[in-house]
Amino acid sequence: MKTGIVKFFNTEKGFGFITDSETKEDIFVHKTGLKQNVRENDEVEFEVERGQKGLNAVNVTRVNH
């Protein structure tokens, strides 16, 4: 599992971006890839799949501290 921070998430449109902690790359996330609701600045764990337009974060869950 990768880790990252939710950089942006638009709940009305159902998508956003996660910044990968390791690569600092922004990865697209759609609400269908979420296992639970996320908000901006949440720390999350996720997997990456290649979609039609690039990398997508899937199986996204918040990291509890």
pLDDT score, position 65:
63
The answer to whether 24 and 8 have CB atoms below 8 angstroms apart is no
pLDDT score, position 2:
98
At 10-62, the pLDDT tens digits run: 999 999 999 999 999 999 999 999 999 999 999 999 999 998 899 999 999 99
pLDDT score, position 64:
82
Domains and CATH numbers, the chain: 2-62 (2.40.50.140)
pLDDT score, position 30:
97
CA distance 34 to 47: 11
Element (H, E) at 61: strand 54-62
- As a whole number of Å, the CA-based R_g of the chain is 10
pTM: 0.93
